[in-house]
Amino acid sequence: MPEIKAELNHCIEDFLDYLSQERKYSPLTIKAYRRDLEDFTGFVNGYDMEYLQYPERIDRQAIRHFLGYLRERDLGARSVARKLAALKSLFKYLNRAEIIPTNPAAGIKTPRFPRHLPEFLPEDQAMWLMELPSADTLIGLRDRAILETFYATGIRLAELTGLTVGNVSFTQNTMRVMGKGGKERIVAFGKAAGEALGRYLEARRQQGETVDYQCPLFCGRHGRSISPRSVQVRVAHYMKQVAEARHLSPHLLRHTVATHLLDRGADLMAVKDLLGHASLSSTQVYTHVKTEQMKRLYRQAHPHASAGER
């Protein structure tokens, strides 16, 4: 545990260092934590400046006032819940480091907010999507391999862009993926993804590239690993041709994979492990998708579904 200075701003910096160095959180996650905690220090600066110097004096009442301040700014319940979660993590860390005697945020209830069901592509749209990239260009072969990999494995965007050729076993049809918090997992892929990856790598070799185990699996310009932004742009380009979802992103394919697996009877725990979810509750949202589909089909097809409305 690093040496921590008592001032709140120093405490926050050491906490963020801990998340980055020890917990291996991504830069984007660290940035989100920093933004949420800076909102709190900005509030404290006008509420009671002594708290900046003596964080051990921060109590539950101060945190409740902060939450009230956020609501006065018309922040949504989801945003308020995220900022409260950041505070709980910070004070838990400081308590363990014996900087503060107790966690003043512990026990404060998270605001309730409606949980939106994730969007996904129907199977026919997903199949059509896979066929869109050209098989006559290297970029087309790469894009087809990217789409097939997303749909086969459900991996996250950052996980895909971090893959090397050595992470893929074509004999086992598996990939070694580095997930959130530096957690490694093995995911399987099927024949379609394997063939798309094989054609793409072979095309790179035919163009004179030396493709070894350390090479990025998916390349952008100058042979470097393709950037997350480039993947987002390319995926959205193809999705616009088949779907009308609000968020045309690689994450939509992640939702699609989970939904299609559960629709076809996959075990919930197996889907959890495939997606790399930390808790089963994150995976269970897809069972709600399936339930809503069932209800909608029932209302459309069953003769007595709307009998009570007549």
Residues labelled as active-site residues: 156, 180, 251, 254, 277, 286
pLDDT tens, 75-107?
888 888 899 999 999 999 999 999 999 999 988
Q: Which helix (H) or strand (E) holds 174?
A: strand 174-178
Give me the pLDDT at residue 253, please.
85
Average pLDDT over residues 12-21: 93
Q: Could you report the per-residue pLDDT of 291-308, keeping only the tens digit for each?
A: 555 455 445 554 545 554
| Residue 1: per-residue pLDDT | 47
DSSP lists the bridge partners of residue 169 as 174
**Which pLDDT value is given to residue 246?**
66
Three-class DSSP category at 21: helix
For the stretch 123-143, what's the b/e string if a residue is b when 16 or more beta carbons lie within 10 angstroms of its beta carbon?
eebbeebbeebeeeeeeebbb
Sheet containing 174-178, strands listed edge to edge, beginning at the edge strand earlier in sequence: 168-169, 174-178, 184-188
pLDDT at residue number 160? 94
Domains and CATH numbers, the chain: 8-96 (1.10.150), 123-298 (1.10.443.10)
- Contact between residue 176 and residue 186 where contact means Cβ atoms under 8 Å apart: yes
Question: Between these two residues, 279 and 174, which has the higher pLDDT value?
Answer: 174
Cα maximum dimension of the chain: 71
pTM over 0.85: no
- Per-residue pLDDT at 298: 45
